[in-house]
Amino acid sequence: MAYSDSELIAAGYFKNKYGVWQRGAYTDPDTLEIESPIGGPLIKSSLAAGSTITAVGATLDAWHAGAAFPAPTSPQEVRGFHEQELSIQIGEALQAQKVQLEKLMQAQNNRTVAEVNLYKVNTKIPIDYAKAQLALQQATLNEMKANVDALKANRLVIETDKIYNSSKIWWPTSTAEAAAGQVYVDGKQKEMDEIDQQIAGYQKIIDAINNNISQTNKDIQSINNGLVPEKYKYNQETQKTLDALKTVSDLYKDITEQAGILAGNTAAKLAYLSEGKKIRNYEQAIAAWNKYQDKITQKFSAVDLKAIENSLKSLTQADIAAKLAIYQRGLGLTSVAIDGYNIGKEIQTSLHTGNWNNTFLKIETLLAGLLAGEVLALMFSFITLTPLTAASLVILLGVAGALIDDELMQDLNNFIDSL
């Protein structure tokens, strides 16, 4: 026999706009009588509005209309309703996550096609060159938006999991279960907070790309009016820039193929977020690195680090300078003479000793006042000139990240966790 409406309401349920019974309340505190985990009389537990089950997705309904509820006889049966409801939502969230990942992969493929089209375009025809640039910018924008949507889908999976396991806190069978449930839920909240930070980072990139698109549209209008901006006038430098852009794009592609989407996205994100920023000082960089170093020690062996050290030792000053000039151009930087050879030697020493103080002091001394993209161009050069491994990516992108933005260090932490 199904429970009556008034009895379901008393048990902490409400009927949503679809006529479906659902746990939690949007506007009123949810007050339930809960069993004390250590025995004794029932205690009242007042939960904040919506703190149990809220509408975690516009189309994710916990119960189908017309579902019958057996009469709950204890808070543990209410917990059973809660967990059944969330199991359905978790399944829906996992399906949505899969869909968004497929959309992200398609967006990445579309961006790759736009890159190829840019490299094929006849740069001697300004309007074709400008339109190809615009197509790439729009494809990149769509990819960044797809990254955001994929992150939101991941967050929804974590959120539904968190709410499911909150039952251990709200209707515990023991103090130990309640304590373990709290630890688990706190961990899920931390994961959600980290995703929120990543989304904020992508939003910065989206804003920057929108600005670039606006400028390119103005350039196209100027070309149509017979005024060709200097950057679209063909000369040998135009072709060099196009070749350098392809080198950067090829690096992202190689990183993605060797280490996965997360690694490729992190490298590209470093480039976007370094635009216009100055290199951070030694204190900021070493503080960021020190938070990150323990994970490196745990994940990679001394053999892994020694391999990077040896590969850097094999590089000549001429090798580094030639590759650096290409990446500086590809990242839109002014060609600046940088002593990449000696920075490479400091990185070798740090890999050997585990002490990174001198590396960041050396970089601050040699690159003080320069744009953050300069150190990224140097790290990209090292990555290209040495065998590409997960360990080398973590180390070299980590050095750049520590000198650019804490948010990027979190992305690299996530990459390590994915290995």
State the Cα–Cα distance between residues 326 and 380, nearest whole angstrom. Answer: 10
Closest CA to 153 of 205, 87, 206, 95: 95
Q: Which two tokens stand for residue 27?
A: 């506007």
Residue with tokens 């580094």: 320
State the Cα–Cα distance between residues 413 and 294, nearest whole angstrom. Answer: 10
Give the per-residue pLDDT at 244.
84
Q: Which two tokens stand for residue 384?
A: 């290209």
Tell me the sheet residues that pair with 22: 14
Give the per-residue pLDDT at 91.
86
Q: Which two tokens stand for residue 117?
A: 């089209």
Helical axes 372-385 vs 261-274, angle rounded to 10° = 150
State the Cα–Cα distance between residues 71 and 161, nearest whole angstrom. Answer: 26
Q: Return phi, psi of residue 41, to 5°.
A: -70, 165
Give the per-residue pLDDT at 223.
92
Closest CA to 410 of 254, 197, 162: 197
Closest CA to 150 of 101, 92, 220: 101
Q: Give the list of residues 6+ apart from residue 327 with CB closer than 8 angstroms, or none.
A: 244, 247, 248, 376, 377, 378, 380, 381, 384
Q: First CA to last CA across the chain, in angstroms?
A: 51
All residue ranges of the chain with pLDDT < 50 are 1-2, 25-71
Q: Do 219 and 232 form a contact (C-beta atoms < 8 A)?
A: yes
Tell me the sheet residues that pair with 46: 31
Give the per-residue pLDDT at 298.
82
Q: Do 415 and 395 form a contact (C-beta atoms < 8 A)?
A: no
The predicted model scores a pTM of 0.61
User: Which domains does the chain carry?
Assistant: 5-222 (no CATH), 235-418 (1.10.490.30)
Q: Which two tokens stand for residue 258?
A: 């060797």
State the Cα–Cα distance between residues 358 and 353, nearest whole angstrom. Answer: 11
- DSSP code at position 231: G
Give the per-residue pLDDT at 11.
58
**Alpha helical stretches, state H, 279-370:** 282-299, 302-313, 317-330, 340-353, 357-367
Q: Which two tokens stand for residue 256?
A: 């993605």
Neighbours of 16 (CB within 10 A): 17
Give the per-residue pLDDT at 138.
95
Residue with tokens 């151009």: 329
Give the per-residue pLDDT at 59.
26
Residue with tokens 């499911």: 164
Distances (CA, A) of 34 to 41, 70, 78, 173, 176: 9, 19, 10, 10, 16
Q: Which two tokens stand for residue 46?
A: 């007042």
